[in-house]
Amino acid sequence: MIEVPKFFIHAPKIKTHPASRGAFFTGTETRLGYNHATMMSLRCSPQFFSRQCFSRLRPLGLLGLILLLGLSAFTAQALTKPTVPPTTLSVDFAVPAPQKNMSGFLNGIGQNAPADDLVLPLKPAWWRLSANDQKGVQRARQWGAQIQLSVSDAYGYPLNHWRGHGAPWENNWKRWEAHVRQLANEYRGQPVYWDIWNEPDTQKWNETTFWNGSPQQFFETYKRAYTILREELGPDAIIGGPSYANYNQGDLEAFLSYCHENQLQVNFLSWHELMRVDFAVPDIAEHLAYIRKLASTYPDLRIQKIMINETVGPKTTYFPGDVLAVLHTLERGGADGANRACWNDSKKRNNCFNQSLDGLIDPETQLPRSAWWAYKTYADSMASRVKVSSTHPNVVGMASQQPAQILVGYFGKEPASSTMFTVRLTHLSAIGQTGKRLKVAIAKAPNTGEAPLSALIPVRTVTVPINKDAATVTIPDLQLHEEAVLTVLSP
């Protein structure tokens, strides 16, 4: 880049060229001089850049040419509205892409609510519950979920004064060990995942919440619980953790190193992805990739699964587009399972304990919210998933053969320049579409927050031509945090 000395330029200004009024481009007037000896007025707009205009520059030589070209480029850039090509998702119905089910929940249920018909459509694969919630465990198991038992929930935390037990390390660990042994006897013969402690992060914010001990005290807490569970339940018991509140590479490495040195297995390795990924969803996949590689260096720990046993942060908990993005990213990162976290709602009610299915259902009316539809459509897609790719980092897609359906989630912090997206569907014959036209119904789950949404909102039904076993469908006006659902209709 060539910089022009300031003394060459006098009072630059931009105004409309008389000859170009009403035209698309405006003119540019610039007064140039050299040591105040030569003054010259130029009127040259980009579309009128001609031999006559160029001839005016001869007294200024190369400097004048540089200035004119620079001003012309600036004017064209300023006056031409930038256009962003519409995002394209590519769906290949002939390429299977099976995934593990990331639908899972944390508490969120009572003895009778929510009703079965609000839970079963979500096909929960995992449920994380307090070990003292026997009835909740029974309900979740009836729905087909695998159970993660939080041993610490039943023992107590700083926030509830340890339920009168005192910290685990007090009284020479006797109360803690007796608690673990009692639970082992209660759940003997039942297939559960033993999650030793919830969020033992040694940080200031946690001192009055879930943990106020040191890292070494947590390691010893894990060791003593592990030893008793092995004594009582044998080698097949599935024991894991540490279920940290945040991804912290150093903390996870320290935990695995301690377990390795003390010959303690970690049959499932877990942590939470919450507030830090509200608007940084892709980080989840990076974290998973690193930890899976790290775990492979500890074969003696017999790590069977890597779990994100709390996810979806408080800012995006009701956003269907962002919920879908989290589920998609967990799949892409290779997680073995996940659980939706729960937060306080606008009325200060905790969604863990108001029978709202972690906020997916209005606790008063028991009607689904828009985020419920993200889980519902996700569950519908699990049986016959096919390959999908997206050209936009903040737009995710999933698709299935049965039903022949495409899910599109628009997530992130800032909206893109374009909200009109195209979906390219290929190998339509794999779903029985062999005619000349394709009929597609487009609906969406808008971001309604805590307000109920009784059904997906129909947008339009379109018929598009099929050419060489492929077709293109446009999704109009998909807003940030929304989910679009495209359903291929019978020919």
Q: Nearest 5°: phi and psi at 485?
A: -125, 115
Strands 38-43 and 421-426, how do they pair?
unpaired
Amino acid at 202: T
The answer to whether residues 214 and 288 belong to one domain is yes
Where is the domain boundary, 346, 364, 382?
382
Q: Is residue 354 situated within a structural domain? A: yes
Grade residue 277 by pLDDT with cuts at 50, 70 and 90: low
Q: For 218-259, what is each residue's pLDDT tens digit?
A: 999 999 999 999 999 999 999 999 999 999 999 999 999 999
Question: Which of 37-46, 73-82, 340-349 has the lowest average pLDDT?
Answer: 37-46
Decide which of 15 and 207 is more confident. 207
* Domain match, 69 and 190 both: no
Q: For the segment 404-413, what is each residue's pLDDT rounded down to a tens digit? A: 999 999 999 8
What CATH number should be reported for the domain holding residue 471?
Answer: 2.60.40.1180
Is the pTM for the entire model greater than 0.85? no
Task: Indicate if 256 and 371 belong to the same structural domain.
Answer: yes
Q: Is residue 16 part of a domain?
A: yes
Which tops the pLDDT comparison, 445 or 43?
Answer: 445
pLDDT in tens, 57-92: 344 454 444 444 444 444 444 344 334 446 689 999
- Is residue 131 located within the same domain as residue 67? no
**In the predicted model, what is the mean pLDDT of residues 359-383?**
97
The CA–CA distances, whole Å, from 110 to 137, 302, 318, 450, 455 equal 10, 35, 21, 20, 24
Write phi, then psi, for 151 (nearest 5 degrees): -65, -40
Can you give the pLDDT at residue 474? Answer: 95
Q: Which residue segment(s) compose the domain that 256 sits in?
A: 99-382
Q: What is the pLDDT of residue 491?
A: 77
Nearest CA-CA partner of 326 in 104, 148, 13 = 104
Q: What is the DSSP secondary structure assignment for residue 490, as one 8-state letter?
A: P
- Asked if residue 406 lies in contact with residue 424, where contact means CB atoms within 8 angstroms, the answer is no
**Is there a domain that residue 43 lies in?**
yes
Segment 117-136, tens digit of pLDDT: 999 999 999 999 999 999 99
Q: Are residues 339 and 448 in the same domain?
A: no
Question: What type of residue sits at position 5?
Answer: P
Q: Does pLDDT of 12 surpass 60?
A: no
Q: Is residue 448 part of a domain?
A: yes
Of 24, 53, 49, 50, the C-alpha closest to 41 is: 53
Spatial contact of 241 and 229, defined as CB atoms under 8 Å apart: no
Residue ending a domain, choose from 354, 382, 410: 382
* 358 pLDDT higher than 90: yes
Q: How many CB atoms lie within 10 A of CB 236?
A: 8
Q: Is 288 found in the same domain as 146?
A: yes
- Mean of all residue pLDDT scores within the chain: 85
Final residue of a structural domain among 336, 361, 382: 382
Backbone angles phi, psi at 344, to 5 degrees: -70, 140
Amino acid at the residue 289: A
* pLDDT at residue 7 in the model: 32
Coil/strand/helix, residue 114: coil
Under a CB-based contact definition with an 8 Å cutoff, are residues 333 and 287 in contact?
Answer: yes
Residue recorded with tokens 């009055």: 208
Does residue 7 contact residue 35 with C-beta atoms inside 8 Å? Answer: yes
ω into 46 cis (within 30 of 0): no
Q: Which pLDDT value is given to residue 45? A: 37
Q: How far apart are the first and last CA of the chain?
A: 60
Q: Are residues 48 and 140 in the same domain?
A: no
* Cβ neighbour number for residue 245 with a 10 Å cutoff: 23
In a domain, 1, yes or no: no
In one-letter notation, the amino acid at residue 151 is V
Using a 10 angstrom Cβ sphere, with 0-12 exposed, 13-18 middle and 19 or more buried, the burial of residue 222 is buried
Asked whether residue 185 falls in the same domain as residue 259, the answer is: yes
Residues 34 and 112 grouped into a single domain:
no
Q: Are residues 390 and 353 in the same domain?
A: no
- pLDDT of res. 203: 84
